[in-house]
Amino acid sequence: MMGYTHALSGTAAWLAAIPLVTNEALLGSHAVSLSAEQVAAGAVVCAGAALLPDIDHHDGTIANTYGPITQVLCKVVGMVSGGHRHATHSIAFAVGAGYLTDLAATHAVHVWWGVLFFVVGLGLRGVGIGFQKSDLLTGVMNALLAAAIVFMMRDVDMRYVGYAVTLGCLAHVIGDCLTPRGCPVFWPVQWSVEIPVIARTNGRAERWVMAPLLTLVITILAVRSALGDEVTGLLRS
């Protein structure tokens, strides 16, 4: 699947999961209470994290986000993880990425800002913000926009970010399972889950069905979330 579809799927996954991650009866002490600001920040993080599994792809969206830096990073991760669609396309990676980012957000805020800068840049690249014929200018624009977004989010309590990152990664894995080749979801078990609903990356099914459908879902879920916050505010007042 393409970067924009992954980013949309991450946003949708986060908005759909809000009733779950805030449910104290279900999660107990692991449940979180989210303000409208935190919901929006979580959507940004989840959209970027939905591209994170492709950190194993030497010429994917991530590799071209920040020029030579991300290109080298992706080549190294690809070699270590076994190549594209191996270790990073699994439940284990999603949970591990969520846990590590949660540790950074709660115990090393300056490290977290760096991670957030990286993740936000992925989301921007994924949705196609930039210059079509210039990776250099696109990288510069992504860096400036990502820095501005991180600055705006600097005071947001992000102790729930592990959920957003894990959900984003899982959304990516599920999406790639809908394409030929699938993913080793239960890595290190080398068995790929494959339900090839989307025959070709960036084909008609993805461009004219998946992307519009995800956009519609995001709109509905965002409205639901906004109305829920408004009702909650009225009840409290």
Inform me whether the pLDDT recorded for 235 exceeds 50: no
Mean pLDDT calculated for residue range 57-61: 84
Q: How many CB atoms lie under 10 A from the CB of residue 178? A: 20
What is the rounded CA–CA span in Å between residue 237 and residue 164?
30
pLDDT tens, residue by residue, 143-174: 899 999 999 998 899 889 999 999 999 999 99
- Number of Cα atoms under 13 Å in the Cβ half of residue 10: 37
Predicted confidence band at 206 (pLDDT cuts at 50, 70, 90)? confident
* Those residues with Cβ within 8 angstroms of residue 141's Cβ, 6 or more apart along the chain or in another chain: 129, 130, 131
Inform me whether the pLDDT recorded for 187 exceeds 80: yes
What is the rounded CA–CA span in Å between residue 72 and residue 83?
14
Inform me whether the pLDDT recorded for 134 exceeds 80: no
Domains in the chain: how many in total?
Answer: 1
Q: Which residues pair with 193 in a beta bridge?
A: 183
Inform me whether the pLDDT recorded for 231 exceeds 60: no
Per-chain mean pLDDT for the chain:
89
Inform me whether the pLDDT recorded for 236 exceeds 60: no
Mean pLDDT calculated for residue range 69-74: 90
pLDDT tens, residue by residue, 77-106: 999 999 999 999 999 999 999 999 999 999
Q: What's the pTM?
A: 0.91
Mean pLDDT calculated for residue range 179-188: 92
Are 151 and 138 contacting, i.e. CB atoms less than 8 angstroms apart? no
- Residue 231: domain span: 3-236
Are 154 and 132 contacting, i.e. CB atoms less than 8 angstroms apart? no
Are 50 and 168 contacting, i.e. CB atoms less than 8 angstroms apart? yes
pLDDT tens, residue by residue, 37-56: 999 999 999 999 999 999 99
Spell out the SS3 assignment of 158-190. Answer: CCCHHHHHHHHHHHHHHHHHCCCCCECCCCCCC
Q: What is the pLDDT of residue 215?
A: 94
Inform me whether the pLDDT recorded for 182 exceeds 50: yes
Give the three-class secondary structure for 221: helix
Between 109-126 and 91-107, two packed helices, what is the crossing angle to 10 degrees?
130
